Homo-oligomer: A and B are copies of this chain.
Amino acid sequence: MTATNRRAFLKTATAAGAGIILAPQISKAGVSKQKQNKSEVNIAFIGCGGRGRGHRKRAAMTEGVKITAFCDIDPEAIPKAQKVLKDQGHPEAEVYSDGEYAFKEMLKRDDIDGVIIATPWLWHTKMAVAAMKAGKYAAVEVSAANTMEECWDLVNTSEETGMPCMILENVNYRRDVMAVMNMVKQGIFGEVVHARCGYQHNLLGVLFQPKLKFGEGATGEARWRTQHSLKQNADVYPTHGLGPIAKMLDINRGNRFLYLTSTASKAVGIKDYIVEQGGEDHPYAKLPWKLGDVITSTIKTTNGETIIVTHDCYLPRPYSLGFRVDGTDGTTNFDMGTKRIYVEGVSKKYDQWEDFQKWQDKYDHPLWKKYGEQAEGSGHGGMDFFVTREFINAVKEQRQPVIDVYDAAAWSAVTPLSEASIAQGSAPQYFPDFTRGNWMKRKPIKFE
């Protein structure tokens, strides 16, 4: 089935009344019954910076993947991207670079099946929406959306077009994360009641590069990411921690995020850094940096679990996503530097942590057992391999990805909800039910 045919099919399906409840019904099994697997798929790219290049390199290595087009408006990014293709034995691709909306031209092509989007945050949703409207599978980097309206844009567009949208949350595929998910699903911790996670990463060097530059004339993420710290007081980057915990707790599949409260500490870390690097009189030291150094959000789920999500990016703290999972039979902390576990009646000493490695080995996820060696050469310790692979497989198998548009919306919603809570003195904010009640019927899904 060509892309044009697929669009025609989807229009028919919509016209026939499946309408907005189409997408929840397209389970992995559902779609593959209706559609045939594709042995070859064409993947396009919007954004060819560091992150986009990584995805492209991994896609180009995958059997049955063609790359005939990509889009970037940074002239420096284009030759680098072509070189990656060439080095991997692919022909050069057609480049779309004529202005910020060049991606729309690219999306008109009939030969593209899926699009991977790795651009600054404010472009994620509009590009994913355009991709879905053009009948392409959309994969979007984290976070998928910036506002509540954008969360709905993703969901509504996916339901209306029938096109899947995957949020490329690589941490869901971290080896220890998948082992713990495996343990959770096998009931090792009994009934899970509490979890912790977050993004604790000293970004001061990233936000000002080269030294004390941000915005125009800066490099990398300092060109656009720093602005969010100046203007927003919110957890602007919740999904690395929350994605894995959400999947462990079957969020949107029998469980749902119900509400959160968020509290911001004062914002003094960035100023402190600027003064250290540029002195008291540096003009940036006088800017009203708004994003609190530590944002603490506590989520309550409909099933009664609580989750603490932390955003902590402006203080000198060793990197950690600070994972913790607590249940009626045991608990684990798995964190850079400290991985430990205690399982009642199994751990040898009462009330004493034991080392995680033995458990890691025993509960290593089947995906890692199978592809671990292949994965380890790819980005971020191997997890990037799996996230790119799952998107490509979903396109090939014409099915919903394991991480779907409801995940993208619910996880990304923490940004606008935390902003509202902080602005209202930590008043609780309710999550919209992006599944429109279908979370009660939807079944847990396996990573495979």
Is the CB–CB distance between B425 and A425 below 8 Å?
no
Let me know if A4 is at the binding interface, CB within 8 A: no
**Complex contacts, A263 vs chain B, CB 8 Å:** 261, 298, 300, 306
Chain A residues 305 to 322 lying within 8 A of chain B, measured CB to CB, are 305-306, 308, 312, 315-319
Q: How many angstroms between the C-alpha atoms of A351 and B305 in the bound complex?
A: 32
Known A191-B272, A303-B266: A294·B342 in contact at CB below 8 Å: no
**Complex contacts, A329 vs chain B, CB 8 Å:** 272, 316
Is the CB–CB distance between B425 and A426 below 8 Å?
no
Let me know if A147 is at the binding interface, CB within 8 A: no
Let me know if A62 is at the binding interface, CB within 8 A: no
- For chain A, the count of residues having a C-beta within 8 Å of the partner chain is 50
Let me know if A433 is at the binding interface, CB within 8 A: no
Let me know if A353 is at the binding interface, CB within 8 A: yes
Closest A-B pairs by Cβ, 9 of them: A266-B304, A316-B344, A194-B294, A272-B328, A261-B261, A265-B306, A193-B265, A263-B298, A426-B428
Tell me the minimal C-beta distance from A188 to chain B in angstroms: 12
**Complex contacts, A316 vs chain B, CB 8 Å:** 328-331, 342-344, 351
Is the CB–CB distance between A268 and B298 below 8 Å?
no
Residue of B nearest to A343 (CB): B316
**Complex contacts, A444 vs chain B, CB 8 Å:** none
Indicate which residue in B294, B306, B331, B337 contacts A315 across the interface (CB closer than 8 Å): B331
Is the CB–CB distance between B317 and A326 below 8 Å?
yes
Q: How many angstroms between the C-alpha atoms of A443 and B349 in the bound complex?
A: 46
Is the CB–CB distance between A328 and B264 below 8 Å?
no
Tell me the minimal C-beta distance from A259 to chain B in angstroms: 7
Is the CB–CB distance between A337 and B353 below 8 Å?
yes
**28 sampled A-B residue pairs with Cβ under 8 A:** A191-B272, A193-B265, A193-B266, A193-B268, A193-B294, A194-B265, A194-B296, A259-B426, A261-B261, A261-B263, A263-B306, A264-B306, A265-B305, A266-B304, A268-B304, A269-B328, A272-B329, A292-B306, A293-B328, A296-B308, A308-B308, A315-B326, A315-B327, A316-B331, A316-B351, A317-B326, A318-B352, A337-B340
Residue of B nearest to A306 (CB): B265
**Complex contacts, A2 vs chain B, CB 8 Å:** none
**Complex contacts, A202 vs chain B, CB 8 Å:** 351
Indicate which residue in B292, B296, B305, B351 contacts A266 across the interface (CB closer than 8 Å): B305
A 278-295 to B, binary, CB cutoff 8 A, 1 in contact else 0: 000000000000001110
Residue of B nearest to A300 (CB): B263
Let me know if A190 is at the binding interface, CB within 8 A: yes
Q: How many angstroms between the C-alpha atoms of A107 and B317 in the bound complex?
A: 52
Tell me the minimal C-beta distance from A229 to chain B in angstroms: 14
Residue of B nearest to A329 (CB): B316
Residue of B nearest to A294 (CB): B194
**Complex contacts, A305 vs chain B, CB 8 Å:** 265-266
Residue of B nearest to A297 (CB): B298
Tell me the minimal C-beta distance from A147 to chain B in angstroms: 23
**Complex contacts, A191 vs chain B, CB 8 Å:** 268, 272
**Complex contacts, A304 vs chain B, CB 8 Å:** 265-266, 268
Let me know if A338 is at the binding interface, CB within 8 A: yes
Q: How many angstroms between the C-alpha atoms of A329 and B272 in the bound complex?
A: 9
Most buried by B among A202, A261, A327: A261
Tell me the minimal C-beta distance from A248 to chain B in angstroms: 15
Indicate which residue in B306, B315, B330, B353 contacts A193 across the interface (CB closer than 8 Å): B315
Known A191-B268, A272-B190, A272-B191: A312·B326 in contact at CB below 8 Å: yes
Let me know if A427 is at the binding interface, CB within 8 A: yes
Residue of B nearest to A194 (CB): B294
A 181-205 to B, binary, CB cutoff 8 A, 1 in contact else 0: 0000000001101100000001000
Is the CB–CB distance between A328 and B306 below 8 Å?
no
**Complex contacts, A269 vs chain B, CB 8 Å:** 193, 328
Chain A residues 102 to 138 lying within 8 A of chain B, measured CB to CB, are none
